[in-house]
Amino acid sequence: MEIYKENPEMVRGLFSDIAGRYQVVNHLLSGGLDFYWRAIAVRLIRSWNPSSVLDVATGTGDLAMAIRKACPNARVIGADFCLPMLEVAKKNGLPELVVADGMNLPFADQNFDVVTAAFGLRNMASWEKGLSEMARILKPGGHLLILDFSLPTLPVIRPLYRFYLHHILPHMAGLVTGRKDAYEYLGVSIEQFPSGSKMTALIESCGFRGVKAYPLTLGTVSIYTAIKSGDH
Ligand SMILES: C[S@@+](CC[C@H](N)C(=O)[O-])C[C@H]1O[C@@H](n2cnc3c(N)ncnc32)[C@H](O)[C@@H]1O
């Protein structure tokens, strides 16, 4: 399963295959909580009053669309390396889309007020490269927001959630998408992805300061915000 993260072509192929059903499955498996997670993220972003936002790994564009709605004066661009996902984003009404690898973004340095990535950084072959690119294209003092899955730390919740993640979720999602393996990969990728203080240290090491973590829904999802350091 580790093979997916190490292999961008497999990640791209996987999202190409499930693009048409991605949003429905998301809403289904999260019980609609994904709307709530995005709403919290958007509230933070709106408080920064940005003029320009890049949503990396935008996929079907859900977060980018929510940001556009909340920040009508901001220019919001969605970038992703999977064309079929971007085609859904286009149908959903996101006008500015760029086919791009999050680890090699086609933007000049110091371009954006805010860079976001929802459930995207985890899938990149190198989290350091992804975060460093985000730091590079942010203006000095610009804001980063990462929204992604995390493992709960509470003793009873953690094993229950792990059971759901590895034994129930892949079957349910497999029935709808026909790609059970994609959702087995999801569980593996969540296990491997750093959270809490490890994620804070990772973000800081890639050119950011002032990292804040907001665990949501019993710690199954976390939002991290940070500010681009002056020396990058
Ligand atoms: C789980 S989806 C998240 C989509 C969307 N941000 C959301 O919140 O629903 C992950 C997305 O990351 C994209 N992705 C993964 N690795 C990427 C990379 N290196 N560069 C750009 N996009 C990438 C995939 O194509 C996919 O659309």
* Tens of pLDDT, residues 15-52: 998 899 889 888 988 889 999 999 999 999 999 999 99
Residue linked to tokens 């509230």 = 43
Q: What is the pLDDT of residue 232?
A: 52
User: Which has more pLDDT, 219 or 179?
Assistant: 219
Ligand 1 in reach of 123 Cβ (< 6 A): yes
At residue 3, does pLDDT exceed 60?
A: no
Ligand 1 in reach of 94 Cβ (< 6 A): no
Query: Nearest Cα to 198, choosing from 141, 148, 135, 125?
Result: 148
Cα angle for residues 189, 119, 53 (degrees, 5° grid): 150
CA of 2 to the centre of ligand 1 (A): 17
pLDDT in tens, 5-14: 678 888 898 8
Over residues 150-167, the mean pLDDT reads 93
Residue ID of nearest Cα to ligand 1 atom 4: 59
pLDDT in tens, 94-139: 999 999 999 999 999 999 999 999 999 999 999 999 999 999 999 9
3-state secondary structure of 146: strand
Beta strands 138-149 and 97-99 are unpaired
At residue 4, does pLDDT exceed 70?
A: no
Over residues 151-171, the mean pLDDT reads 92
% of the chain surpassing 90 pLDDT = 78
CATH superfamily ID and name for 23-152+194-227: Vaccinia Virus protein VP39 (3.40.50.150)
- Sheet of 97-99: strand order equals 97-99, 75-80, 52-56, 112-118, 138-149, 221-228, 208-216
Q: What is the pLDDT of residue 174?
A: 87
- Give the pTM: 0.95
Q: What is the pLDDT of residue 179?
A: 82
Ligand 1 in reach of 14 Cβ (< 6 A): no
Ligand 1 in reach of 61 Cβ (< 6 A): no
3-state secondary structure 3-20: HHHHCHHHHHHHHHHHHH
User: Which of 7, 81, 223 has most ligand 1 atoms within 8 Å of its beta carbon, as the pocket-test mutant?
Assistant: 81
Q: What is the pLDDT of residue 2?
A: 47
Q: Which atom of ligand 1 is nearest to the CA of 55?
A: 6
Ligand 1 in reach of 193 Cβ (< 6 A): no
Rounded Cα distance between 65 and 78, Å, is: 9
Q: Which atom of ligand 1 is nearest to the CA of 117?
A: 6
Read off the tokens for 61: 């564009």
Cα angle for residues 70, 102, 5 (degrees, 5° grid): 115
DSSP structural state of residue 156: T
At residue 150, does pLDDT exceed 50?
A: yes
3-state secondary structure of 131: helix
Q: Which atom of ligand 1 is nearest to the CA of 147?
A: 8
